[in-house]
Amino acid sequence: MRIGIVGLPSAGKTTLFNLLTEGHVETVSGKMEAHLGSAKVPDRRIDFLSDMYKPRKTIYAQIEFVDVPGLARGSAAKGGVNQFMAGVREADSIIQVVRAFDDPLVPNPEGSTNPVRDAELLHTELLFSDLEIVEKRIERLEGGKKGKENPIELPTLKKCQEILESEGRIGSIDWTPDEQAALRDYGFLTEKPVILVANVGEESLSTDDYPGKAELAEHARTKDIPLLTVSARTEQEISELPDEERDAFLNDLGVTESG
């Protein structure tokens, strides 16, 4: 399984990527490049069997994660975003990270903390990225000779175009098997299942609150999107602590366990 991680600049998506993959990618490098990492999936059944049979090597299932450059407002409409999205287009699902913390040391490019606004901006950027591909492909098909392509591809792409132009998701439609086959190789971003992650500050771990919490929960409910909350930077700091210091750190935060 592969999961793509997207977010606006300074949302904390690369920090989350490092947390999930135990990586050390620079979070403020400014480099426009994608990063690939993986994480083992804990499985007590495998642990049980490994303890019983004592194999020379125990292999766990793995999840691949792809972290792409931050999607600034309007970046997809300006073009060039799709060159970084190849890894995400091959993913099975997408994590959308929204900033839900205030930090004067990490200025918010949007000027304020508003996770719903950022979630909608992310949707727009992914939508325009898909629309660019759809429009270019339609142009090629309409300009080419008839009979060479799948006859259902063009009308299916035009249907996608209508959906995207109305700000919908390609994944919201019940496609016929033939339409699904016509779209299979495109890897449309708005076709994939989405998990919304609110990246909160350390203080939110003890208060169970963050800027825009109620509004984001309502947004996720109306869009039927799973919503998770994490303090990526704090969780990463905890994961790097020795075991004997971890409990004391969690106690200072007023929480019983991380994760």
Q: Is the pLDDT assigned to residue 75 strictly greater than 90?
A: no
pLDDT of residue 206: 80
Instruction: Assess if residue 222 is contained within a domain.
Output: yes
Give helix then strand counts, H and E, for the chain. Answer: 11, 6
pLDDT class of 118 with cuts at 50, 70, 90: very high
pLDDT top residue among 82 and 187: 187
Instruction: Assess if residue 148 is contained within a domain.
Output: yes
Instruction: Assess if residue 134 is contained within a domain.
Output: yes
Report how far residue 141's alpha carbon sits from residue 156's, in angstroms, rounded to the nearest whole number: 12
Give the lowest-confidence range in 30-44, 56-70, 208-222: 30-44
Q: How many structural domains comprise the chain?
A: 1
pLDDT of residue 74: 77
Q: Is the pLDDT assigned to residue 226 strictly greater than 90?
A: yes
Instruction: Assess if residue 50 is contained within a domain.
Output: yes
235: nearest Cα among 195, 196, 204, 212:
204
Specify the pTM.
0.84
Q: What is the pLDDT of residues 190-216, one digit of tens each?
A: 999 999 999 999 888 888 899 999 999
pLDDT of residue 81: 65
Instruction: Assess if residue 105 is contained within a domain.
Output: yes
Mean pLDDT of 3-9: 94
Instruction: Assess if residue 13 is contained within a domain.
Output: yes
Instruction: Assess if residue 258 is contained within a domain.
Output: no
In SS3 terms, 81-127 reads as HHHHCHHHHCCCEEEEEEEECCCCCCCCCCCCCCHHHHHHHHHHHHH
Give the lowest-confidence range in 155-164, 169-178, 228-237: 228-237
At residue 255, what are phi and psi to the nearest 5 degrees? -125, 160
Question: The CATH number of the domain where 237 resides is what?
Answer: 3.40.50.300
Instruction: Assess if residue 223 is contained within a domain.
Output: yes
Containing domain of residue 172, as a range?
Answer: 2-253
